[in-house]
Every structure is written in structure tokens, then in C-alpha cells.
Structure 1
Amino acid sequence: MIFYLSGTGNTHWAASYICDATGDRMVNIADAIKGNNTYTLDKDERIGFCFPVHGWRPPVLVRRFIEDLNIVNPDGHFCYALCTAGDNIGETIDILRADLKKKGIKIDSAFSLIMPESYVGLPFMDVDTPEKERQKKELAAKELEEYTPYILYRRSGFEHLDIGRWPRINSRVIGGFFTNFLITDKPFRVDTRRCIECGTCAGVCPVGDIKGGKGLMPEWRHNGLCLTCLSCYHHCPVHAIEFGGRTKNKGQYYFDKNKQ
């Protein structure tokens, strides 16, 4: 069973690749969290957690999901984690490991993939250049191909993690600030002169935080569910969405299978 969360599509691509190799079921955390999170695993079924890194931490939604998660028979089932990030992951896996330990689940192997940058919510951050995007995707595809046999054959004790420098400061200090102050839908704005009311932004929001659709001007619900994944911003075909003034004149990115 592959529990996954994806905003701009990087993690969905990786989780789908693993699913094709293992035949394990995929469960979208953004949908599953709305229901009864009790699961019974099939014989020899793996437990996978695939998600993007938010502020050098697992996304808030992933951590909430794990709090409510009840796997009836986790003992003896191989468990792995795979996270995607634009740069490095800090102590993301350590935080995930502690959360899962409370549920009686032990991570056997863990992996990270460096993917094209999509977080543009701070003044000094932008998407990668086309060349860097291409290089990252090529390397990630190669690494995912290398990681998959470890998952397929349930090999424990393997870690390939891009932890980076100052992991504790990044995850515990800066990550705490990110979680407490930067995860919000309040700065989102729509340029009504550009918006074509196509409904794309509402359709791609992983948590359904945008009220809109074909023929409607999008509105954010301000209900506390926003992940600030910026998927709405990146997918807008006319660049009509901004995150306050922080995204002005910045680029857009989402994982496009047709460009692989």
C-alpha cells in the first residue's frame, strides 16, 4: 500500500513508478484523510509513504494523516519512505520515523529524490532554469530506477537521503517557522483581468481549498486546509494567480508527463 501526497506532481510520478513495479495499491492521503483511516494489509504487502518535503519536514497533512492512521496488521510488513524535494530534506525522515513509531510502524528503508523546484513563496526562491529542471528530472529518474528494486525485494537498512548542511536548524527552527507562519492561503490573489475562469486551479488543489470551476472566478476557502503547495499558481495557464507579491515575475513548474 502506497500512501502518497502530491501537489505539483513530482511525488505522484514517483509513487506511480513504484506502483507499476510492485503492484501495491495507491492511496491518496488528501482523499483518505476525509474518511476512516483503518487498513488491513494483504499478505506480503509493503507499506510506503511518498510525499514532498515542506519546509524541511513532512507536510502537515501527512503528519495529521499518520495521527489517525490505523494499520491493523503492520508487523512483518516492509515499510519504506520516499520524499521529493527541490534541494535537501534536513531531518524530514527522522520526524516521519518518530511519528510512525507512535503507531507501531518502523521504517525499514528511506529514499529522497531531488526534483525541480516548485516552492516560490519566499522572495529569494524561484523555479529552476529549464536546463537545471531537465538535469534534475533525468537524475531523479535514474535514482528512482535504482531505488525500486530495494522496495520491490523488501531490502532493509538502505538509506539514500539528501540531508544537506545544518539539518537540525533547517527542520526544527526554520521548518517550525514555515509551519507556523507560511502555510496559509491568505496571500493568494487572482488577477481578474487575466483569469479565464477555466477551473484548473480548483481542480488541481489537492485539498479542495479553492471554490471554483468552469465559468467561475476562484476563491480560497480560508478553512485551514491549504498546504501552500502552490499547485494552483503553477498550473494556471495564464499566470493569473499570485501569492501576494512574493511570486511576481516568477516562473511556473509542474510535472508534465509529456515532457519526460
Structure 2
Amino acid sequence: MIFYFSGTGNTRWAAEQIAAATGEELINIAANLQSNNEFHLKDDERIGFCFPIHGWRPPFIVREFVKQLHIKNADGHFCFGFATCGDDVGLTFDYLKEDLESAGLHLNSAFSIIMPESYIFPIIDSIDKPEVAEKKKKNGKKALETILPDIINRKSGIRKVNESHWPRLNSKVIGSFFLKKWVSDKPFHVDPKLCIRCGVCAMVCPVKNIKGGSGLSPEWLHNGLCTTCFSCYHHCPKHAIEFGNRTKGKRQYFFKQTNSSKKQN
């Protein structure tokens, strides 16, 4: 049983590879936020949590989902965490371990891979150029291939993660500021002169926070679930969506299947 959250597709791709290799069921966290979060394990089933790094932490909706999770007969089942990141993980897996323990689960192993950056930072253009993004995807696939045997064989005590030079500073100080000041849908807006009312933004929003569709201009619902994953911004075919002034003139990225990221057989 693999729970995953993904904004621009990096983590979804990786979770699909893990599910294909292990035969485990994929469960979309965003699609189950309103459920009772009670799940029943099959014999010898793995438990996995896959997500992108947000502010050197798990996305806040992932943390809330885990804290409210109820899994029957979890004792003895291999439990792992897996993250996609633009650079490093900080204290991400410390937070995950703490949240899992509150739900009666134990984190056996932790893994991460570097994938193309999708978060829009102020001032700088943090989105990778296409050639850099393709190289990261290729290297990410190779890194995942080294991780899969550990997950398949349920190896405990494994920590294959991209370590941080300043984990406490990144996760506790910058991460706290990120969560309080930057995680909001309020700055999102659309340029009516560029918007073609295609409905793509509403379709790709993982938390269904955008009201829209074919022929409709998008409206952010302020439902409290926006993680600022920027999926709406990155998928807009006309670059009509902006996040305050931060995204003006910046590049876009979302995961596309290429020869370097084909699903494994």
C-alpha cells in the first residue's frame, strides 16, 4: 500500500515505478483527505509514503493525513518514506517518523532522489532549464533503480537520502517561515487577456482548489488545502496564471514521460 502526493508529477512518476516493482496498491493522498483514513493491510503488504519536499518538510497535507491515518494490523509490516527533492531533504524524515509514530507506525527506511525543480522562489528563476531538467530526470531514474531493491526486499535501517548541510536551519527556521508566509492560494491570479478558459488548471490541481472548466475562468476556492505546488501555473498552456509578482517571466515545468523516464517493465 503506497500513499502518495504529487503536484507537478515528479513524485507520481516515482510512486508508479515503486508500485509497479512491488505490486503494491497506489493511493492518492489528495483524493482521500476527506475520508476516514482507515485502511486494512493484506498479509506481508508494504506501507510507503511518497511525496515532494516542501520547505525541507513533507507537505502539510501529507503530515495531517499521516497523523489521522488508521491502519489495521500494521505491526511487522515494512514501512518506508520516499521523497523527491530539488536539492536536499533537511529534517523531512525526522518529521515523517514523528508523525508516523503518532499514528502507531514505525519508519523502517527512508529514501530520496533529486528531480527537476518546480518551486518558484522569489527573485531568482529556480526552474531548471529544459536540458538540466532532462539530465535530472535521467539521473533520478538511475537513483530510483538503486533504491528499488531495498524496497522490494523490505530492508530496514536503510537511509539513502540527499543530506543537507544545514538541516535544522532549513527545516525548522526557513521551513517554518515557508509554511506560515508562502503557503497560500491568495496570490494566485489569472490574466484574462491570456486565459483561454481551457480548464487545465482546475483539472490538474491536486487538492481541487480551483473552480473552472472548459469555457470558464479559474477561481481559487481558498479551501485551506493549497500547498503552493504550482501545478496550475506550470500546466497553463498560455502562461496566464501568476503568483503575485513572483512568477512573472519565469519558466514552467511539469513531468513529461520521455525516453529517460519510461516506466520499467
Q: Secondary structure at the match of 1:137?
A: helix
Aligned partner of 2:107 in structure 1 is: 107
Q: Is the 8 A contact 1:202 1:213 kept in 2?
A: yes
Instruction: Quote the offset at 1:124 in angstroms.
Output: 2.4
What do the CA deviations read for 1:179-225 (whole angstroms, capped 9, x no partner)? 11110001011011111100000000000000000000001011211
Cα RMSD between the aligned structures? 1.0
Q: Is the 8 A contact 1:119 1:125 kept in 2?
A: no
Q: Structure 2 vs 1, CA of residues 258 and 135 (structure 1 numbering), >3 Å: closer, same or farther?
A: closer
CA distance in 1, matches of 2:32, 2:173: 30
Q: Which amino acid aligns with 1:26?
A: L
Q: Which amino acid aligns with 1:66?
A: V
Q: Is the 8 A contact 2:68 2:103 kept in 1?
A: no
Instruction: Quote the offset at 1:125 in angstroms.
Output: 4.3
Pair 1:35 & 2:35 matched? yes
Pair 1:138 & 2:138 matched? yes
Q: Which amino acid aligns with 1:47?
A: I
Moved over 3 A (4+): none
What do the CA deviations read for 1:30-89 (whole angstroms, capped 9, x no partner)? 011111211110000000000001000000000110121001111000001100111111
Q: Which amino acid aligns with 1:254?
A: F
CA distance in 2, matches of 1:176, 1:100: 20
CA distance in 1, matches of 2:53, 2:141: 18
Aligned partner of 2:149 in structure 1 is: 149
Percent identity between the two aligned chains: 55
CA distance in 2, matches of 1:206, 1:47: 22
Q: Is the 8 A contact 1:49 1:81 kept in 2?
A: yes
Length, aligned pairs only: 260
Instruction: Quote the offset at 1:123 in angstroms.
Output: 2.2
CA distance in 2, matches of 1:190, 1:102: 40
What do the CA deviations read for 1:92-113 (whole angstroms, capped 9, x no partner)? 0111011111112111111011
Aligned partner of 1:204 in structure 2 is: 204
Stretches of structure 2 that go unaligned for 5 or more consecutive residues are: none
CA distance in 1, matches of 2:172, 2:126: 23
Stretches of structure 1 that go unaligned for 5 or more consecutive residues are: none
CA distance in 2, matches of 1:22, 1:8: 24
Instruction: Quote the offset at 1:130 in angstroms.
Output: 1.8
Pair 1:22 & 2:38 matched? no
CA distance in 2, matches of 1:130, 1:205: 23
What do the CA deviations read for 1:146-168 (whole angstroms, capped 9, x no partner)? 10111111011111111221100
Instruction: Quote the offset at 1:121 in angstroms.
Output: 4.1
Aligned partner of 2:256 in structure 1 is: 256
